[in-house]
Amino acid sequence: MIFTNPAGAPELACDQCGCRWFDRTAAETCYECGAPVTDENRAEIAAALAEFEARRLNNKGNKPCN
Ligand SMILES: [Zn+2]
């Protein structure tokens, strides 16, 4: 599942226990329960991050000041 942190950025969370696993690490398994990271999980977070980045850049472009 995808978790959104307080800053609005998406983070991948464990499907099994709901914790935010591989918290900014390259871990291959859940930090809490050891569930493996699936290709689906990777695709999910990659898509969420791409969307977040696009939105962030959009917001930036709309700001009048530099
Ligand atoms: Zn877990």
pLDDT per residue, tens digit, the chain (66 aa), is 898 989 889 988 998 998 887 655 556 888 889 888 889 998 999 999 999 999 989 887 666 665
Q: What is the pLDDT of residue 23?
A: 56
Instruction: Please tell me the total count of domains within the chain.
Output: 1
Q: Residue 20 C-alpha to ligand 1 middle, in angstroms? A: 8
Structural domain includes residue 22: yes
Structural domain includes residue 32: yes
**DSSP string of 1-66, one letter each residue:** -EEE-TTS-EEE--TTT----STTS--SB-TTT-PBPPHHHHHHHHHHHHHHHHHHHHHHHH-S--
Q: What is the pLDDT of residue 52?
A: 94
Structural domain includes residue 29: yes
Q: Which domain holds residue 51?
A: 2-61
Neighbours of ion ligand 1 (CB under 5 A): 14, 16-17, 30, 32-33, 35
Report the predicted TM-score, pTM, of the whole model to 2 decimal places.
Answer: 0.72
Structural domain includes residue 9: yes
Structural domain includes residue 53: yes
Q: Residue 60 C-alpha to ligand 1 middle, in angstroms? A: 35
Q: Residue 5 C-alpha to ligand 1 middle, in angstroms? A: 17
Structural domain includes residue 66: no
